[in-house]
């Protein structure tokens, strides 16, 4: 009989065929969790294996609010929030939260549903990464979601691990639209991450030289 540890190893290793084989032996394993309490579905997503997550989802495990937000299962998310509105601001075992997960895994409709349910746009992960939903949206290059977060009161200059801001991420990606949005909402282009680089420096390092000049100009004091 398949075991949780076998499934855990297969999920971490991205072995989608093995995952399917184990679930054929015992579909209930899809609802298992890692030793630190993370669902198998989220674990697959953390390892950048949506195909493994889909194999797990095909076994129809009961999704919690974190899973539903991360994979964009809107009916399930709506059901959970309707039953218990406080789940919009719940914390997973690993310190992440539904709004951040929806943003990072590119689920804009789930993010908007959570904002409508009063998810806190200023919340930061309760783990060393300290990411906010705005950092996650910047990482996922979701400009419209970033706008919605800012409209709901997100801190435009919030710092995550290593002192990074959303503007630093947008600069690294060469994401001009997001850079302009963040600047228009008051992002400080002179802020430096812990390695001493400002937004222009991050853009320059990734070869986005035109954007680097735009950011350098925005950071210059005005006489």
Give yes or no for residue 119 having a pLDDT over 80: yes
Q: Tell me how far the alpha carbon of residue 151 is from its chain's centroid.
A: 18
Mean pLDDT of the chain: 97
Domain-ending residue, one of 62, 90, 108: 62
Q: What is the band of 222 on the pLDDT scale with cuts at 50, 70, 90? A: low
Percent of the chain's residues with pLDDT above 70 = 99
Give yes or no for residue 187 having a pLDDT over 60: yes
pTM of the complete model: 0.95
Give yes or no for residue 129 having a pLDDT over 60: yes
Asked whether residue 109 falls in the same domain as residue 215, the answer is: yes
For residues 79 and 82, what is the distance between their CA atoms, to the nearest angstrom? 5
Please provide the distance, in angstroms rounded to a whole number, between the alpha carbons at the two ends of the chain. 74
Asked whether residue 100 falls in the same domain as residue 151, the answer is: yes
C-alpha closest to that of 2 among 23, 30, 31, 20: 23
Asked whether residue 124 falls in the same domain as residue 198, the answer is: yes
Asked whether residue 114 falls in the same domain as residue 37, the answer is: no
Give yes or no for residue 89 having a pLDDT over 60: yes
Locate 10 and state its tokens. Answer: 């297969």
Domain-ending residue, one of 40, 62, 84: 62
Q: Tell me how far the alpha carbon of residue 45 is from its chain's centroid.
A: 11
Asked whether residue 43 falls in the same domain as residue 67, the answer is: no
C-alpha closest to that of 114 among 62, 68, 182: 68
Give yes or no for residue 213 having a pLDDT over 80: yes
Give yes or no for residue 223 having a pLDDT over 80: no
Percent of the chain's residues with pLDDT above 90 = 96
Asked whether residue 162 falls in the same domain as residue 87, the answer is: yes
Helix axes 4-12, 16-25, angle to 10 degrees: 160
For residues 123 and 147, what is the distance between their CA atoms, to the nearest angstrom? 16
Asked whether residue 32 falls in the same domain as residue 50, the answer is: yes
User: How confident is the model at residue 2, as a pLDDT?
Assistant: 82
What's the total number of domains in the chain?
2
Asked whether residue 41 falls in the same domain as residue 109, the answer is: no
Length of the chain: 223
Asked whether residue 123 falls in the same domain as residue 213, the answer is: yes
CB under 8 Å to 202, separation ≥6 — which residues? Answer: 168, 171, 172, 193
Backbone angles phi, psi at 49, to 5 degrees: -125, 80
Domain-ending residue, one of 62, 77, 110: 62
State the sign of the Cα–Cα–Cα–Cα dihedral 160, 14, 105, 116.
negative
What would the pLDDT profile of 28-72 be if each residue is shown by its tens digit? 999 999 989 999 999 999 999 999 999 999 999 999 999 999 999
Q: List alpha helices for 120-198, DSSP H.
A: 133-140, 143-151, 166-173, 176-184
Q: What is the CATH number of the domain that holds 51?
A: 1.25.40.20
Asked whether residue 87 falls in the same domain as residue 181, the answer is: yes
194 or 222, greater pLDDT: 194
Asked whether residue 50 falls in the same domain as residue 72, the answer is: no
Please give the residue range of the domain that contains residue 23: 1-62
Asked whether residue 185 falls in the same domain as residue 79, the answer is: yes
């Amino acid at each position: 009989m398949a075991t949780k540890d076998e499934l855990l190893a297969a999920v971490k290793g991205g072995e989608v065929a093995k995952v399917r084989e184990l679930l054929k032996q015992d579909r209930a394993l899809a609802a298992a969790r890692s030793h630190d309490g993370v669902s198998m579905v989220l674990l697959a997503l953390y390892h950048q294996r949506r195909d493994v997550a889909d194999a797990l989802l095909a076994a129809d495990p009961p999704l919690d609010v974190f899973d539903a937000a991360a994979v964009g299962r809107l009916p399930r998310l709506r059901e959970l929030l309707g039953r218990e509105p406080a789940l919009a601001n719940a914390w997973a075992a690993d310190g992440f939260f539904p709004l951040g997960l929806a943003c990072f895994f590119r689920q804009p409709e789930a993010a908007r549903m959570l904002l409508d349910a009063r998810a806190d746009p200023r919340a930061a992960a309760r783990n060393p990464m300290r990411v906010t939903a705005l950092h996650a949206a910047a990482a996922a290059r979701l400009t419209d979601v970033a706008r919605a977060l800012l409209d709901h009161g997100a801190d435009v200059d919030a710092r995550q691990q290593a002192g990074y801001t959303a503007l630093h991420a947008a600069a690294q990606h060469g994401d001009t639209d997001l850079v302009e949005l963040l600047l228009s909402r008051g992002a400080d282009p002179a802020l430096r991450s812990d390695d001493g680089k400002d937004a222009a420096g991050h853009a320059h390092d990734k070869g986005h030289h035109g954007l680097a000049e735009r950011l350098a100009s925005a950071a210059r004091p005005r006489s």
